[in-house]
Structure 1
């Protein structure tokens, strides 16, 4: 057996267990698949141009500002419901 990774999170355990039940894979394989998929995003990001990286950071900064200005108790779903109709089209 290789090295071990312990994640002490009820939410992570429930998600991994549910995905394992749905896919029929062992929990360890589900977690490894998720980590590989997430890790691939970082490898892809390393290939971005400086302009693309700057654009991504500008979008993230705008998201942080928007989050900081959200009223307490307002969820992302609430905001999306105001912006888009039932078919996902802008109001």
Structure 2
């Protein structure tokens, strides 16, 4: 299982990181990748929570709307014909 990186800039960055941390180049790359993955996963989790919060807010607003007194079936019948096509 090899990783062959042919980018000199990347090699230099890895050498610098390894020198600064005292790690081997392999350990420095592994640590950097783990940290970046954790950062991205944390951001993804925060984004999902924000999306859920916004959905809950929309639901709360929708629940506060006055009722029309019509059933879902009545509304659907008004919007769509018997074949399911819009009227």
Q: What TM-score do you get using the length of structure 1 for normalisation?
A: 0.48
Larger helix percent: 2
Q: What TM-score do you get using the length of structure 2 for normalisation?
A: 0.49
Structure of greater Rg: 2
